[in-house]
Amino acid sequence: MTSRFFVLCAACLAMTASANMSLDPQAIQEVFGRNGYAPPAPPQSPQQAVPVTPAPPKQVVAVTPAPPAPPPDDVFSPVPADYDQFDWTLTKRVAAGSDKNFLLSPLGLKLALAILTEAATGVTQNELSSVLGFDLDRNVVRSKFSTIIESLQKESPYYILNLGSRIYVGDNTHPRQRFAAIAQEFYKTELKNVNFNNPAVASKEINSWVSNITQGHIPSLVNEDDVANMVVLVLNTLYFKGSWYHQFPPNATHFGKFNVSPRLVSYVDYMNVNAKFFYTESTKYDAKILRMPYLGNKYAMYIIVPNSLLGLPRVLNDIGGLRQELDNLREYTVDVTLPRFQFDQTSQLDGILRELGIRAAFEDTASFPGIARGQDMDQRLKVSKVLQRAGIVVNELGSVAYSATEISLVNKFGEDIEATAEVVADKPFLFFIQDEATRQLLFTGRVSEPHGQDGVLKV
């Protein structure tokens, strides 16, 4: 019998604006709150008064409500990052595929692949660990990811981050208890049985879960054909919504030119704010690097704008060294001009992973015995597809981003400084969003056309 094993990752980053990126009262109220006004109750018809005995007067004590707690101050302290070399390598390779917009969730894909690594043995496991940059001691890897997930799951009134991981297993497949326990304890991943022989029901259940995690931004990740006769689906979803620490005044937004290429100009809405930011002028990359924090002092978006129209490849070609440049960030008063941007993208990543050195997982010699019991030679699994769907919306109030990563397996035989600066992002630029506590890259991307170039990227 031919069956399939599929891994999929979804990630979402979105701003608080509406889909067409215009600000409306509802969006502003969502970020800044409501006044809580309620209309007076209608007058009631008069009724006969009932005599009562007056009670002794009570002493009234005036209570002054406590003022709302201010958001924590923005603090930036660069620290060494580990487990991120794969993220930069992946970003560089995807960017090389075209000069269009792209958006990835390196963390989402890495989490999905880490779970697969737990189930692999032999060459399959060695290739996954090597490309991902994992320690050979699995206990070290488990501890690292447990710390990352714990950091991401911290709740705050200043932002929303939803992270969900599931492994859907066919009704006829019996997961190993040890694998299920490891997935739950260290990766907070639930194993759930589903009837892949009824693809309509299975796809509906999977899509409902992904839509809930991404707050409706990814309503249909898979279709019936995707899940028909599947054996295992490894699924990771990520949704982030944050408000800028320094929000852009809506009345400062203006229309202007964005230089897509030497021969192509697009007219877009530019946001503008003048505030204290951590910033550096990079000689190495001939580019400006700006850190834009979100409320809550936990997440931040970094913008890398080359000084020349054709200067972005210089950044991308040596993107692995970008982390060192962040040590040069200092606090300046920066006048920031940034376009609103929004786009969605689906990336098929099988080919890239093969090029990076993950090959055995896709071949008939793949070995994933840790997933399920009873795998005979004609029932063993291999990866058939790695797909990620992601989207982002950025406007005056904040950002929203979302992604889903899917991996399917198929039966193989089937500091303060008084200074000023200016950053004008009027040409293609690179950005990434990271968890400042763990230095993990939630999203990386390039804006070549702020109005968006939605579509499918196969690389």
Q: What is the 3-state secondary structure (H, E, C) of 119-139?
A: HCCHHHHHHHHHHHCCCCCHH
pTM: 0.82
Specify the pLDDT at position 409: 79
- Please report the domains of the chain, with CATH numbers, ordered by start residue: 4-19+78-448 (3.30.497.10)
Per-residue pLDDT of the chain (459 residues; tens, 9 = 90+): 444 566 666 666 554 433 334 445 454 455 444 444 344 444 444 444 344 444 555 554 555 555 455 566 666 766 566 678 999 999 999 999 889 999 999 999 999 999 999 999 999 999 999 999 999 899 999 999 999 999 999 999 999 999 999 999 888 778 889 999 999 999 999 999 899 889 999 999 999 999 999 999 999 998 998 888 788 889 999 999 999 999 999 999 999 999 999 999 999 999 999 999 999 999 999 999 999 999 998 999 999 999 999 999 999 999 989 999 999 999 999 999 999 999 998 999 999 999 999 999 999 888 888 887 654 444 578 888 898 999 999 999 999 998 999 888 776 655 444 568 999 999 999 999 999 999 999 999 999 999 865 444 444
Specify the pLDDT at position 78: 64
Cα gap 180→368, rounded to integer Å: 14
Task: Give the residue among 387, 401, 392 at the shortest CA–CA distance from 454.
Answer: 392
Instruction: List the end-to-end C-alpha distance of the chain, in Å, as a whole number.
Output: 30
Specify the pLDDT at position 173: 78
Q: What are phi and psi of 361, to 5 degrees?
A: -60, -25
Name the DSSP class of 145. H
Task: Give the residue among 78, 79, 89 at the shortest CA–CA distance from 318.
Answer: 89
Cα gap 438→436, rounded to integer Å: 6
Specify the pLDDT at position 83: 78
Buried b (16+ CB within 10 A) or exposed e, 398-419: bbbbbbbbbbbbbbbeeeeeee
Q: What are phi and psi of 355, to 5 degrees?
A: -60, -35
Cα gap 111→240, rounded to integer Å: 16
Task: Give the residue among 237, 259, 205 at the shortest CA–CA distance from 387.
Answer: 237
Specify the pLDDT at position 5: 63
Query: Residue 225 CA to chain centroid, in angstroms?
Result: 26
Residue 324 burial by Cβ neighbours in a 10 Å radius (0-12, 13-18, 19+): exposed
